[in-house]
Amino acid sequence: MKALLAEPGFLAPSGTIGADISYLLAVVFTVLFLIAWGMAKKSQGTRHHKLILVSMVSMIIYFVGYYYARSLGVLSFEGREGFGGPDDIYENIFKPVLITHLSLVVLGMILAFYMLSQGFRASTKVGGEYLLKDGELKVSPRKFKIVMFTIMGCWILMQVILLATRENPLGASIAYALIFATVALVVSLEKLIEKLLPDGANRHRVLGRVTMVIYALILITSTATYLMLYYIYPLKS
């Protein structure tokens, strides 16, 4: 699979198939999320839910493709993987943009799953159509603890894998630690969100707008990263 994704791409002269596909999928799921958001604003709940599910499938494929093509951007913490520009551009522009992009992707994926789950919990089906229902919506303390322990277990497993498979895992270890810390932070904010937005329907609407902004930023940073890697500062053969 890695060999195939490393083959020359079709969007940029120095791009790869993996990078091109992951970028196109980033465009696709961002557009799909925006369309789904428009459906929600028109009270087309069932169509909104179905399109969100399709969007999340494309997002997961993107996430997997990005992992194989760029190791989730972790390679850039270990060296100038794929970047052919000057050191100052790499440190002051490319790397901050990539870190921002990576953080937004993780945050966006978490919010997408959260919004999907929260949307079903905050809605009811009336006449075959999903409609948001007003009322307090909370996660039980037991479920909250299970999720937090699961995140911690996944992080520990990842550290063990890195130690077993890499000679110098420090850079990747820090990168993945940041990813799991972001996941844990967002999940822990659930209790704060419940206090600030106790009504499930209102919470879904407010966080839906925030999620759309994040996905727009993901597309912007993804485009900037792609252009710097494969158009502006490609590796010289």
Query: Which tens digits make up the pLDDT trace of 166-203?
Result: 777 777 787 778 778 877 877 777 778 888 888 988 88
For 11, 114, 121, 154, 187, the CA distances from 139, given in Å and listed in that order, are 45, 12, 10, 21, 11
User: Where along the chain do its domains lie?
Assistant: 2-135+200-232, 138-197
List, as one string, the DSSP characters of 41-83. Answer: HTT-HHHHHHHHHHHHHHHHHHHHHHHHHHGGGTHHHHS-TT-
In this predicted structure, the answer to whether residue 210 has a pLDDT above a threshold of 80 is yes
CA distance 95 to 77: 8
In this predicted structure, the answer to whether residue 78 has a pLDDT above a threshold of 80 is no
CA distance 170 to 174: 6
State the Cα torsion 38-41-43-47 to the nearest 10°.
20
In this predicted structure, the answer to whether residue 220 has a pLDDT above a threshold of 90 is yes
Contacts of 225 (CB under 8 A, 6+ apart): 94, 97, 98, 101
In this predicted structure, the answer to whether residue 5 has a pLDDT above a threshold of 70 is no
* The predicted structure's pLDDT at residue 68: 55
Return the half-sphere exposure (C-beta side, CA atoms, 13 A cut-off) of residue 143. 6
User: For residues 12 and 214, which has the higher predicted lDDT (pLDDT)?
Assistant: 214
Which range of 10-24, 65-79, 90-104 scores highest in mean pLDDT? It is 90-104
* The predicted structure's pLDDT at residue 69: 54
User: For residues 71 and 202, which has the higher predicted lDDT (pLDDT)?
Assistant: 202
